[in-house]
Amino acid sequence: MNVSLNDKSVLITGASTGIGRACALHLDQLGFQVFAGIRKQNDAESLLQSASNRLKPIYLDILKPDMISKASQTIEEEVKNHGLYGLINNAGIVTTGPLEFVPIDSIRTQFEVNVIGQIAVTQSFLHLIRLGQGRIINISSVSGRVASPFLGPYAASKFALEALSDSMRVELKPWNIHVAVIEPGPISTPIWNKSKKVAQTMLSKLPITAKTLYGDKIKSAMNWEKKLNQSMSSPDVVVNAIEHALLSNRPRTRYRIGVNGIVADLLARLASDKIRDWLITKQRNM
């Protein structure tokens, strides 16, 4: 890693908590000029308290085109002809539930945030990335390789992000803009509690038929999730992969994170659908 960090700027979306926040603070420490996407003033203040005075919070809801173009203008004025060295598309949400009953609006929102928002931000910043001979890093998930039951909306959104990343990687090769995908397994961040709350509200509104049909299986899947929660990794493991994707002379196209990342990759590449289904069903005692 022999890249000089002078005048190198990165934008991280969803930097209020979890992986985004850890990444913003780490890249700030390394010497990058970090633009940290947040949506609330207290998140901006909290980041400013922990970072150097180089870090700049940027109000950025990736579903709001006006905010995206304002953020792009602001950053363009700041970075001038240095452009942007890194765009880390990290913002994301999790929607779960049996696909037969998940409200269509919830599935739409899942795709708006995890897929459409990522493209919108990328489109808006690509001219700056081209100028800065920069790199794009998309935060996917093991769920972008293997789709588990009751995680359908989330997995579908991450599969879509993987596909977009593959297309974009080849499209942007002529300008030497590298596109990497990060595929973490379970990481200890607030996303789990947030998705649990959303899932509980949704489950409480499901019709009785849904509960009769899926109740036991959802409970088994939740027990499996509880087990996973006991072995979650720290966001640092993702941050290390992001640092490599940004700074290495030979960045990878995909970063599998932790044992779960490797297992998901093997399952996706080597196991037949039937074996994968059997393993997933067995693991979750469904």
Q: How far apart are CB 43 and ligand NAP at their closest, in Å?
A: 6
Contact between 259 and ligand NAP (CB under 6 A)? no
Which residue in 30, 48, 61, 119 binds ligand NAP (CB under 6 A)? 61
Task: Rule CB under 6 A: choose which of 5, 7, 17, 252 binds ligand NAP.
Answer: 17
Q: Which of these ranges, 54-62, 96-104, 145-153, 265-273, lies near ligand NAP under the rule CB under 6 A? A: 54-62
Write the CA distances from 172 to 114, 153, 155, 262, integer angstroms.
Answer: 21, 28, 25, 27
Does 26 engage in binding with ligand NAP (CB under 6 A)? no
246: exposed, middle or buried (C-beta count within 10 Å: 0-12, 13-18, 19+)?
A: buried
Near ligand NAP by CB under 6 A: residue from 13, 33, 95, 96: 13
The values of phi and psi at residue 55, to 5°, are: -65, 135
Is 33 among the residues that bind ligand NAP (CB under 6 A)? no
Element (H, E) at 137: strand 135-139
User: Would residue 255 be called left, alpha or beta, if left means φ above 0 and alpha means ψ between -120 and 50 degrees?
Assistant: beta
Q: Which two tokens stand for residue 253?
A: 């196209």
Q: Give the C-alpha separation, 135 to 128, whole Å.
A: 11
Contacts of 232 (CB under 8 A, 6+ apart): 186, 187, 188, 192
DSSP classification of residue 81 = G
Least separation in angstroms between residue 274's CB and ligand NAP is 26
- Shortest distance (Å) from residue 228 CB to ligand NAP: 9
Tell me whether residue 154 is one of the annotated catalytic residues: yes
Pairwise CA distance, residues 210 & 24, whole Å: 41
> Which of 5, 168, 191, 271 is in the footprint of ligand NAP by CB under 6 A?
191
Comparison of 191 and 222: residue with beta carbon closer to ligand NAP: 191
For residue 247, state whether it binds ligand NAP (rule: CB under 6 A): no
Among positions 36, 58, 62, 164, the unique one binding ligand NAP when judged by CB under 6 A: 62
Which stretch, 11-19, 24-32, 100-108, 124-132, contacts ligand NAP (CB under 6 A)?
A: 11-19
- Say how far apart CA 67 and CA 268 lie, in whole Å: 37
**Residues that bind ligand NAP in the complex, under the rule CB under 6 A:** 13-20, 37, 39-40, 60-63, 90-93, 113, 117, 139, 141, 184, 186-187, 189-191, 194
